[in-house]
Every structure is written in structure tokens, then in C-alpha cells.
């Protein structure tokens, strides 16, 4: 499916959706939906691609994606290893327009503020993930109570913000398809030079119009987005392969020189590729 928005399948009476994705790779098309998404990745590795940020994910990561944040999970192909994710979908109005305004639920309001830009949980992910997994065998009432407990816990856990600001909703089919083509081009061709003329032509826009369009939806230039994707992929290669040298990884990820790779990597990660590799277990 290459268009936005995406509709979460549910019955008319279902206010909280519990979903298990057990596939070779996760759904990798850019999409957005009204529901807030809490996802625990039990198994898998890859990149979570947002409009204004690219984040690595690994097994036991836990993410919260707010309403209408366009995103995709790009799974890495590692042998025959399947990917598995447990997810809760709901909206702030799922249980009534004013439910979360009740005085008794005041302590969970901070969750909705944090969710607007999305966040990654930094502590006790595995414990929280097992709490989510246990909902598979619970009835609707117990899942509802479990969600309230989970929201309260997530308010207090250290986290990493995923987006700079709340998302600009993609409002038309044409915009969604255009962004999907751009993201597909980067994901499939980041290892080679991608000139602005090529991506503008793919978008049926002039170079200047394309730059304005991309900046509007991602808050960054296309080249900055491309470099961020390359650095994210390089980080995974550094973690996965000791047989490849840093210069080989730089070339495989589309950097024309190791010095440029080192500079860009440090700009985004705060340390050099050599230092990053030294921190890995």
C-alpha cells in the first residue's frame, strides 16, 4: 500500500486494538494513522524512518508514535530471522471525548504531551514489553486496565524524543504517494549518489519546488535526510560486521570519502565511527 492515510483494521466496537506482527519484515510503506501506537519489538533490527528523523531499532526496543506521525519500519534482512512486534493502538478519545480529562487520570496526561512528537523508552523496555505481551491473553476489560497502568509507567520512564516537532499531516493522496516514492528511492539507492534532479523528476516537480515540498514535510533538506539515512545504516553495519573496515562501510553506505563519512557521522552521533565501534559489546 503506497498511500496515506492508513486505516487500522478494527471492529466498530473495538476501542483498543492489540496487534501482533510476525513477519519476515515489518510493513515498510510510509503511512500515518489517527491512533497512537505503542510498539514493543521482541525480535528484529532495522530503521524506524520518520519524516524528520531516522532511528535504529533492535530487539527489545519500545516506541511510542503519536497520532498522525508518518512512519515506516525498514527491517534489515538477517538470514532467516523473522521480525516480531506487539502493538497497542488507541486514540485519546477512544474511551470518550473527556475520559482522559478526569481528575483521577491527571497523572497520565503527560503521556499524551510526550506522544505528540513520539519517543523511545530508554529503561526497563523488556519488562514493559512483557507487560504488553501479556495482554494477548487478557479480556477487553483487563486490557483496558493494563493500558492505564502502562500509560502511567511510561510517563515516568526516561525517553528519547523521536521528532523535533509535532507532525504536519499529509493531507492528500498525491502528497502521500509522492513522499512514498522519495522514501523508496532513498531506502533502495542510498549507497549511490542521488542528485536532486533525479528525485525532483521522480516527484514531478522542479528542483526548487521539490526542495520546498520536502522541507515542508520533514523540516530538513533532502540531502540532510539522505545523509542521516546513510549514517543510520552505517551504524548498523559497524555493530554487525567486524570484517568490514570503516572505509569499506563508508563506501558501501554512499559516502565518497572516509573523511566526509567521519565528519558526518560525528555531527549526527557525537562520536567518530571508530569510537562508536569501540563502545559496542
Residue 191 shares a structural domain with residue 150:
no
- Domain membership flag for residue 190: yes
Query: What pLDDT is stored for residue 175 in this prediction?
Result: 81
Residue 205 pLDDT: 94
DSSP class of residue 30 equals -
When pLDDT is averaged across residues 229-250 and rounded to a whole number, the result is 91
Question: Above 90 in pLDDT, residue 231?
Answer: yes
Q: How far is CA 128 from the centre of its chain?
A: 19
Range of the domain at 245: 173-279
Gap between the Cα atoms of 99 and 252, Å rounded: 51
- 3-state SS class at 143: helix
Number of domains in the chain: 2
Q: Is residue 91 in a domain?
A: yes
CATH number for the domain spanning 58: value is 2.60.120.280
Q: Are residues 157 and 186 in the same domain?
A: no
| pLDDT per position as a tens digit, 129-151 | 999 999 999 999 999 999 999 99
More confident position, 255 or 179:
255
Query: What does the DSSP 8-state code read for residue 169?
Result: P
Looking at 110, 126, 161, the residue that finishes a domain is: 161
pLDDT of residue 190: 96
**Total H helices, total E strands in the chain:** 10, 9
161, 186, 212 - which closes a domain: 161
What's the Cα-to-Cα distance from 131 to each of 101, 115, 144, 207, 252, rounded to whole Å?
25, 19, 13, 49, 39
We report the CATH number of the domain holding residue 214 as: 1.10.10.60
Would you say residue 224 lies in a domain? yes
Amino acid at each position: 500500500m503506497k498511500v496515506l492515510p492508513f486505516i487500522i483494521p478494527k471492529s466498530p466496537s473495538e476501542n483498543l486494538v492489540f496487534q501482533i506482527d510476525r513477519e519476515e519484515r515489518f510493513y515498510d510503506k510510509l503511512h500515518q494513522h489517527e491512533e497512537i501506537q505503542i510498539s514493543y519489538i521482541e525480535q528484529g533490527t532495522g530503521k524506524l524512518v520518520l519524516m524528520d528523523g531516522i532511528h535504529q531499532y533492535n530487539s527489545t526496543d519500545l516506541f511510542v508514535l503519536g497520532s498522525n506521525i508518518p512512519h515506516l519500519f525498514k527491517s534489515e534482512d538477517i538470514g532467516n530471522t523473522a521480525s516480531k512486534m506487539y502493538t497497542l493502538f488507541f486514540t485519546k478519545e477512544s474511551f470518550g471525548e473527556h475520559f482522559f480529562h478526569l481528575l483521577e487520570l491527571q497523572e497520565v496526561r503527560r503521556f499524551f504531551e510526550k506522544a505528540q512528537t513520539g519517543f523511545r523508552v530508554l529503561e526497563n523496555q523488556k519488562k514493559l514489553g512483557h507487560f504488553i505481551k501479556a495482554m494477548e491473553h487478557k479480556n477487553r476489560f483487563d486490557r483496558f486496565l493494563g493500558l492505564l497502568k502502562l500509560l502511567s509507567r511510561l510517563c515516568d520512564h526516561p525517553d528519547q524524543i523521536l521528532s523535533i516537532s509535532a507532525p504536519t499531516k499529509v493531507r492528500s493522496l498525491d502528497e502521500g504517494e509522492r513522499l512514498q516514492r522519495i522514501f523508496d528511492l532513498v531506502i533502495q539507492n542510498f549507497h549511490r549518489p542521488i542528485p536532486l534532479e533525479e528525485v525532483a523528476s521522480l516527484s514531478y516537480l522542479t528542483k526548487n519546488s521539490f526542495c520546498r515540498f520536502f522541507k515542508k514535510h520533514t523540516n530538513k533538506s533532502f540531502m540532510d535526510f539522505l545523509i542521516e539515512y546513510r549514517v543510520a545504516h552505517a551504524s548498523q553495519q559497524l555493530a554487525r560486521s567486524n570484517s568490514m573496515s570503516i572505509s569499506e562501510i563508508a563506501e558501501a553506505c554512499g559516502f565518497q570519502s572516509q573523511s566526509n563519512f567521519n565528519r558526518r557521522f560525528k555531527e549526527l552521533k557525537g562520536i567518530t565511527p571508530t569510537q562508536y565501534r569501540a563502545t559496542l559489546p
